[in-house]
Amino acid sequence: MSDSDDLKQNEGATKTITRRNFILGVIAGGAVVSAASYRFLAPSRRQLSGAGERLITLYINGKPRRVDVMKQETLAWTLRYKLGLTGTKLGCDRAECGSCTVLIDDVPYYSCSVLTHTVRNRQVTTIEGLAAADGKLHPVQQAVVDEQGFQCAFCMTGFIMSAVGFLKTNPNPTRAEMAQGVSGNLCRCQDYSKILDSLMRAAEYTRRA
């Protein structure tokens, strides 16, 4: 069949399309559209004067990364879906669970609630950037492994990033202070006691390191 035949058939289909077929088509196509919309549909709004570059350099785990970022994109989105750093988890996407916690200039932030464009000149550290170049785990990671602190561990990367940030401000915390320090993270397994055990060990390892 030639291309022109194809075109004619399509025209015919367009003319005879029924409401039912249209709805079925939307259902079938919907998943594809919604999955692709973040990339192709969202930036369709007219660009206003003062709009900056979309292709920007981010400093992630000590390395400069060139990446195409939408204005309205959150850091968690960029890390996971543009840079493939899926160690950062998206739990609630509303700054209410802590699983997306990353360090920006050594301070813990919810990356779901930071616009990527606002961290252009800042150092972002994710869980992937904690271990040393030779693969040696960060003291906090090692402590979590040693204590087997987490059950399902979805929240783990957020907890570890929070703890790393907190230990920079208070290297010698009491258990209550550590609990306060990571109070911006939730664990749905309610594994807090074991998490605190491992984070107290983490404090000890960090002091020794």
Partner 1 sequence: MAVIRDVMPAFDLLQPASAADAQKLLETYRENAWVMAGGMDSFDWLKDRIKKPQVLVDLSGVDELKGIRTTADGVEIGSMTTLTDIAKDATIRKNYGLLAEAVEHVASPQIRNQGTLGGNVSQDARCWYYRGGWPCYRAGGNECFADTPVGRNREHAIFGANRCVAVNPSDSAPALIALDAKFVIQTSKGEQVVDAEDYFLGPEVDITRLNILRPGDLLTAIRIPSTWSGAKFYFEKVRDRNVWDFPLMNVAAAMKFSGGNIDEIRIAVNAVAPRPMRLTAVESAVRGKPADAATGEMAGKLAVQGAIPLQFNAYKIPLMRNLVKRAIGGVQETTWTS
Site residues (CB under 8 A) for partner 1?
Answer: 34, 37-38, 42-45, 47-48, 50-52, 70-74, 77, 90, 92-96, 98, 101, 107-110, 112-115, 117-118, 162, 166, 180-184
Q: DSSP for 127-192, please give it.
A: GGGTS-TTSPPPHHHHHHHHHT--SS-SSHHHHHHHHHHHHHH-SS--HHHHHHHTTT---TT--H
Q: Which is nearer to partner 1, 7 or 42 (CB)?
A: 42
Q: Which is nearer to partner 1, 24 or 42 (CB)?
A: 42
Q: Which is nearer to partner 1, 1 or 48 (CB)?
A: 48
Q: Which is nearer to partner 1, 142 or 167 (CB)?
A: 167
Q: Rounded to the nearest 5°, which phi and psi values hold at 188? A: -75, -15
Rounded to the nearest whole angstrom, what is the least distance from the CB of residue 43 to partner 1 in the complex?
A: 6
Rounded to the nearest whole angstrom, what is the least distance from the CB of residue 42 to partner 1 in the complex?
A: 5
Rounded to the nearest whole angstrom, what is the least distance from the CB of residue 122 to partner 1 in the complex?
A: 10
Q: How crowded is residue 84: how many other Cβ atoms within 10 Å of its Cβ?
A: 9
Q: Which is nearer to partner 1, 58 or 142 (CB)?
A: 58
Helix or strand or coil: residue 195?
A: helix
Burial code of 4-30, b = ≥16 C-beta within 10 A, e = fewer?
Answer: eeeeeeeeeeeeeeeeeeeeeeeeeee
Rounded to the nearest whole angstrom, what is the least distance from the CB of residue 15 to partner 1 in the complex?
A: 33
Sequence-ordered list of residues with C-beta below 8 angstroms from that of 147, at least 6 positions apart, any chain? 194, 197, 198, 201
Token digits of residue 130: 């904690």
Rounded to the nearest whole angstrom, what is the least distance from the CB of residue 7 to partner 1 in the complex?
A: 33
